């Protein structure tokens, strides 16, 4: 990867997250953080709940939060937080910045262009064009690390309160939204038909969970009804 040097992407040395004590991750994090040269710290986080989806970017002297379309996945939201933080770091007068995120999956995919999505590619292009020293460091979430805890709090608050709205999404989230709406429309029509004898057998248009106790041929017949 040309745009993101391996020395600019910091991840934990532990291989099994579930099997590693949180104290080890926290200690590992501070060791990495203290080994970095002087830099601007930017903490980010995303939140998704029944009230909305939002991201937060925390800089030394400011904080910014954005609501985004609620149908975006939490993974997309984390990636968008990375994008916004990268834009802020690139436009800053400060040459060196470190972006702290607790989304290990986003950082892992950012380091692998073959698995990247358009947002990830945009992040890499911004870094390349900015000529800035922009680093990424994974922070273990929910470990009482002040910057991470504050970003989490602001992101959750932004899902409920009036704030800036950033109308951005991905084709995957849009496709999922369309499919979900189509499924709901079909379900409503299915339930609105009177004297529908098939509905007595199958009350929903959603995929029928296979009954593994039945032979494969019987499962096919039932799903074709």
List, in order, residues 6 or more apart from 118 with CB less than 8 Å away: 170, 171
Q: What is the pLDDT of residue 113?
A: 65
Q: Which domain holds residue 30?
A: 20-173
Q: Is residue 54 part of a domain?
A: yes
Has residue 6 got a pLDDT over 50?
A: no
Q: Which residue has the higher pLDDT, 207 or 68?
A: 68
Question: How far apart are alpha carbons 74 and 138 in whole angstroms?
Answer: 17
Q: Which helix (H) or strand (E) holds 56?
A: strand 52-59
pLDDT grade, residue 225 (50/70/90)? Answer: low
DSSP helix/strand/coil, 171: helix
Q: Is residue 52 part of a domain?
A: yes
The whole-number average pLDDT for the span 178-205 is 80
* CATH number for 87: 3.30.420.10
Tokens 């799903």 belong to 223
Q: Is residue 42 part of a domain?
A: yes
The whole-number average pLDDT for the span 19-35 is 79
Q: Is residue 8 part of a domain?
A: no
Q: What is the pLDDT of residues 149-166, one digit of tens each?
A: 999 999 999 999 988 999
Q: What is the pLDDT of residues 99-150, one digit of tens each?
A: 999 998 888 888 876 665 789 889 999 999 999 999 999 998 888 899 999 9
Q: Is residue 77 part of a domain?
A: yes
Tally of domains within the chain? 1
Q: Is residue 224 part of a domain?
A: no
Has residue 190 got a pLDDT over 90?
A: no
CB 82 within 8 A of CB 97: no
Has residue 209 got a pLDDT over 80?
A: no
Q: Is residue 53 part of a domain?
A: yes
pLDDT grade, residue 208 (50/70/90)? Answer: low
Q: What is the pLDDT of residue 2?
A: 40
């Amino acid at each position: 990867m040309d745009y993101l040097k391996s020395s600019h992407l910091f991840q934990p040395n532990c291989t099994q997250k579930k099997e590693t004590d949180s104290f080890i991750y926290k200690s590992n994090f501070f060791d990495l953080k203290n080994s970095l040269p002087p830099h601007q710290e930017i903490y980010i986080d995303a939140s998704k709940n029944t009230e909305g989806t939002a991201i937060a970017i925390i800089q030394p002297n400011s904080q910014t939060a954005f609501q985004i379309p609620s149908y975006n996945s939490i993974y997309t939201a984390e990636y968008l937080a990375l994008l916004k933080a990268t834009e802020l770091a690139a436009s800053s007068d400060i040459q060196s910045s470190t972006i702290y995120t607790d989304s290990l999956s986003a950082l892992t995919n950012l380091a692998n262009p073959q698995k990247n999505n358009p947002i990830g590619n945009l992040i890499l292009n911004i870094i390349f064009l900015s000529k800035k020293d922009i680093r990424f460091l994974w922070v273990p979430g929910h470990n009482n690390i002040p910057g991470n805890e504050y970003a989490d709090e602001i992101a959750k608050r932004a899902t409920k309160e009036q704030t800036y709205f950033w109308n951005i999404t991905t084709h995957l989230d849009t496709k999922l939204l369309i499919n979900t709406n189509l499924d709901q429309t079909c379900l409503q029509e299915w339930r609105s038909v009177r004297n529908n004898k098939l509905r007595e057998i199958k009350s929903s248009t959603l995929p029928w969970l296979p009954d593994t106790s039945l032979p494969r041929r019987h499962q096919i017949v039932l799903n074709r009804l």
